[in-house]
Amino acid sequence: MLRALLAILLLSTAAAAPAQVREQPIDDLAADLAFGICPLFLAGQLSLTGPELAQRGFGRTVVKQPHPRVGEMSLVEAKRPDGSIAFGGAAGKACTVVVSAADRAAVLARLRANMAFMGLDFQPTANVGPELPGVKVETFKAPVDAQTLYVQLVQAEVPTATVAAQLFAMDK
């Protein structure tokens, strides 16, 4: 089921991809990345330096940083008039979209609203990670084949106000 969903997303993304950089508000871009592009990244079907991200204004510089759960994350970034956005993760393990924008509430609202577009029955669940001061995490899960797909919507204030969407799968 997950492979079929990913194939459909890949075909629709490729068919809709114009030759120039897409102009869309940062809240729409964040939701597009989290629920349209992250599944491809998780399946190992997307390069951080490929056309799908370049068309959305991302550069080709890949920054690597350590991550306590997945080892190392690789990210690309796009600076925009309405904020900055980073995309990446660890292919096959986790995908993350991090947004720093003046209208963080709009980004968070769009992420919540667009989660349903994945066609999965996401339900609220307890956070699967440690509690961190100054960080609010909402966790949702949905069954996919023999795994559970988690979506975490994260709000943090440090060093700047950010919203992140993290997707990862775990065995049931």
pTM of the predicted structure, to 2 decimals: 0.84
Structure-model confidence comparison of residues 129 and 141, the more confident one? 141
- Portion of the chain with pLDDT greater than 70, in percent: 86
First to last CA, the chain: 15
Q: 133 burial class (0-12, 13-18, 19+ CB within 10 angstroms)?
A: exposed
Predicted confidence (pLDDT) per residue in 56-88, tens digit? 999 999 999 887 778 899 999 999 999 999 999
Q: What is the mean pLDDT of the chain?
A: 85
- For residue 153, what pLDDT is reported? 96
